[in-house]
Amino acid sequence: MSNDAEQTADADERADAESTAGEAETAEQSTTADAPGDAEPLAERVRDHDEALGDEVAALEERVAELEGELADAREEVADLTERLQAKQADFQNYKQRAKQRQEDIKARATEDLVERLLDVRDNLDRALDEDAGDVDSLREGVKLTRKEFDRVLDAEGVSEISPEPGAEVDAQRHEVMMRVDSDQPEGTVAAVYRSGYEMGGKVLRAAQVTVSEGNGDGER
């Protein structure tokens, strides 16, 4: 073999050796990058993540505790309001019962007072009846006085007489029409009062019984 050929062969061997060494170094570097020593940053990231998650969980637990405290306070307030409402309702029911009892007492006393005054009227009637039956004028005068006293009792109770004048308009709320008659009064008006009525406090106790005019007998209306 010539010297040139030998030099070429040596150069090729060195190139192959250098290539093999480079590949080995690359493989070593790759192996070194994947070695356990480089796993430490990953572990730190996991620990950091766990710590952040733990802090978040702790914050949530603290918030839950606060909400439970607020809920307990709200329940206590509701219980207090419910108790106060029940007390108010009981007080109102007692007030209604007392008011009803007062009304009944007032009504009873008013009735007693009215009866006492009517007893005076009855006494006057007894005195009129005790008069000599032959003295008609005296008896009549006694009855008149008794009626006046009775009217005073009614007036004191706010009772007024319903006795419309002839020719007055007929009031269906206060007048009861008994019949229609020929009369000199305008047609459709009150001709005469058959029986007086009475009202008290704007309420009709008894309507007045009246006759109603149909006009005069000559056909005029």
CATH T-level assignment (fold) for domain 161-221? Nucleotide Exchange Factor Grpe; Chain A, domain 2 (2.30.22)
Strand partners, 212: 180, 190
202 phi/psi in degrees, rounded to 5: 80, 0
**1.20.1300, 3.20.20, 3.90.20, 1.10.3470: CATH of 49-157:** 3.90.20
Q: Residue 32's pLDDT is what? A: 47
* pLDDT for position 79: 93
Looking at residue 57, its pLDDT comes to 84
CA distance 212 to 217: 14
Spatial CB neighbours of 101, under 8 Å, sequence gap ≥ 6: none
Cα 72 to its chain centre, rounded Å, is 29
Query: Three-state SS string across the chain, please?
Result: CCHHHHHHHHHHHHHHHHHHHHHHHHHHHHHHHCCHHHHHHHHHHHHHHHHHHHHHHHHHHHHHHHHHHHHHHHHHHHHHHHHHHHHHHHHHHHHHHHHHHHHHHHHHHHHHHHHHHHHHHHHHHHHHHHCCCCCHHHHHHHHHHHHHHHHHHHHHCCEEEECCCCCCECCCCCEEEEEEECCCCCCCEEEEEEECEEEECCEEEECEEEEEECCCCCCCC
CA 76 to chain centre: 25
pLDDT at site 107: 84
pLDDT of residue 13: 63
Measure the CA–CA gap between 46 and 83, rounded to whole angstroms.
55
Contacts of 132 (CB under 8 A, 6+ apart): 138
- Domain ranges, ordered by start, for the chain: 49-157, 161-221
Distance spanning both ends of the chain, measured CA to CA: 171
- Whole-model pTM: value is 0.50
**pLDDT recorded at residue 133:** 58
Distance, in Å, from the CA atom of 170 to the CA atom of 193, rounded to the nearest integer, reads 11
Q: What string of pLDDT tens digits covers the 221 residues of the chain?
A: 555 555 555 556 666 656 555 555 554 554 444 444 555 677 677 666 777 787 888 888 888 888 999 999 999 999 999 999 999 999 999 999 999 999 988 888 888 888 888 888 888 888 777 766 567 777 788 888 888 888 888 888 889 999 999 999 999 999 999 999 999 999 999 999 999 999 998 899 999 999 999 977 554 44
Same CATH topology for 49-157 and 161-221: the answer is no
Q: What was the pLDDT predicted at 8?
A: 58
